[in-house]
Chain A
Amino acid sequence: MGTDAAAKRGLSPAIMKVRGLSKRFVQRTPFSHKKFAIDALVDVEMDIAPGCVTALVGESGSGKSTLANCLAMLERADSGEIWFEGQEISRWKDRQLAPLRSKIQMVFQDSAGALNPRFSAARIIEEPLEIQNREHGAGLRGRACEVLAEVGLLPEWAERSPLELSGGQRQRLAIGRAIGLKPALLILDESLSGLDLSTQAQILNLLLDLKQTHALTYLLISHDLSLVGQIADFVGVMQHGGIVEFGAAPQVLGSPRHDETRRLLASARGLESAYRTARAGGRA
């Protein structure tokens, strides 16, 4: 899924290929301690084309975030393969993965929780650079200030705690932390959710600028179909842990083939219309 479409557009082979990926969570009921299983991912197949924005949409609990965590190797899949830049990485040990991790970075939804509250803004950028042995000493602070400026934060804010920053500024910092490592693939897990529309637009512009400057590939996890329609090149629709439809964004969003895609589009339109009615009522 996706490779053919990318090839038709003259794009190079997929930066990441996912084959037959499955993940099951086993949990226990609180009192009886009976085990029950949740199939979070079921035989997922997907290609991520380089330099493109691939979006994953689906209702809550459809497995989007689990897939993102598996692709970022924060969660281990039970079976299946993950190919990144031509190497099968799903069975790699943590030590093998360490140098590769800088190439796959993730930006989380909860920017407040995703930043260490004990660190200053500059320290947050510096920490991954130090872990990956990219910079040392004075060069480290210099690089941190460069990154802060690149994501639209003032270098004077270097010593500020993330708690002193607004939601949008925190998300910029989280993006800066990720791009500081010069990744090839950036996974945006609902990174624009929870921000007001104006901030969302600013962050979106920043992401598009950074994509151009750093030749980044994005995997965008979102439930906002209008946002996906604006920036995605490819869209995958998830339901019950599997990808039920995948293709070029205009095709998937314009002429959906699967019921789940139609349902998501209908509910998005319904929400939009309800919002317009509410606004019109408010004005009257």
Chain B
Amino acid sequence: MKFLERRLLHAILLLIGASLLCFLFSTLAPGSYFDEMKLNPQISSATVAALRSQYGLDQPLPLRYEHWVKSVLHGEWGYSFAYNLPVRGLVVVRARNTLLLTSLAAALAWLIAIPLGVWTASRPGQWEDRLSMAGTSFLLSVPELVVALGLLYCVIRTHALPVGGMVSADHDSLGLWGRVRDLSAHLIVPVATLVLASLPILIRHVRASMMEVLQAPFIQSARGHGIGRMTLLFRYALPAAANPLISLFGLSVAGLLSGSLLVEVISGWPGLGPLLLEACLSRDFYVVVGVVTASTLFMILGSLLADVMLAMADPRVRMDNV
């Protein structure tokens, strides 16, 4: 329990620190949302000054941070200049779309990587292993951007799938099954891009961890007791190889909100990516801070989850933390 309490305290301190830094750096960035207004002759400088005052941009930084923290505690997370809405509503809707995309991609990537990594680790140097290594090397060398553009090119050329957005224009008129199919069709390109981008790293980590554990004397002992091959690999060796994989899983969870921003922008997925890009370009300050803080929250939660899972999985970690 002490371990969890300590970790939670670390997480809260980290979140405060990250939000402070994000607030500071966003403030130091040149320009503001209202600078463009100054160029418009139809808007007087007095109006711009009044707007700046209304949104609290004329106040000193500590005061602005204090107001923002209060706003977070009230569930608003500041106010978007561009949408004229509380940031929370904007971020929550977009984060839901992002989470749908990234959690599906992460689950798929892990479901493929674990059996493939275990299988190749049990056959080092054989043709299956060499083929897998060549495939993952190729995927590692291709940037995510190129994978996304390549997939989009194929889809556009073949008209096999809808491109851009989350649903089709006639989505609301479809039945339940039709809606599910429509959503799935829109998900394929961004999900495939994210899976292809993360898969080689996951497969290589699973393979490396498993190969190390399969050499351990206690695995040899288990073989000497007559344990079955699949039981040995999945019930014996995989849990023993789990520590680095749990840390990696924590990173996967951590990246659920921030790992797909580029893919979302390229494939037109209405997630946090396009929202953050728009907010950065238009200097919609509180939206940027809100999205970054939400991503940081996921980073911290992912790390916390990995720590807790490690402690649950490995008595050595529990003993170290007593």
Binding site for B on A (CB under 8 A): 69, 72-74, 94, 97-102, 104-106, 108, 110, 113-118, 127-128, 131-132, 161, 163-164, 174, 177, 181
Contacts and interface: CB of A to CB of B under 8 A. Distances in A.
B44 to A, nearest CB: 71
Contacts of B174: none
Interface in B196-240: 216-218, 220-229, 231, 236, 239-240
A108 B220 contact: yes
A159 B254 CA distance: 35
A113 B225 contact: no
B58 interface: no
A101 B216 contact: no
Given A108-B217, A108-B220, A161-B319, A117 B225 contact: no
Contact of A163 (B221, B224, B319): B319
Given A108-B217, A116-B240, A127 B222 contact: yes
B316 interface: yes
In the complex, the 7 A-B pairs of residues with the closest C-beta atoms, listed nearest first: A101-B226, A128-B225, A98-B226, A114-B217, A113-B217, A108-B217, A116-B218
A161 B224 contact: no
A118 B239 contact: yes
Interface centre among B217, B239, B313 (most CB of A within 10 A): B217
Interface of B: 216-218, 220-229, 231, 236, 239-240, 313-316, 319
Contacts of A116: 218, 222, 236, 240
Given A114-B221, A131-B222, 10 more contacts: A74-B220, A94-B229, A101-B226, A105-B224, A114-B220, A115-B218, A116-B236, A117-B218, A117-B315, A161-B316
A54 B313 CA distance: 41
Interface centre among A94, A97, A114 (most CB of B within 10 A): A114
A131 B239 CA distance: 17
B218 A102 contact: no
B225 A131 contact: yes
Contacts of A106: 220-221, 224
A116 B225 CA distance: 13
Interface centre among B218, B223, B239, B240 (most CB of A within 10 A): B218
Given A118-B315, A177-B221, A113 B226 contact: no
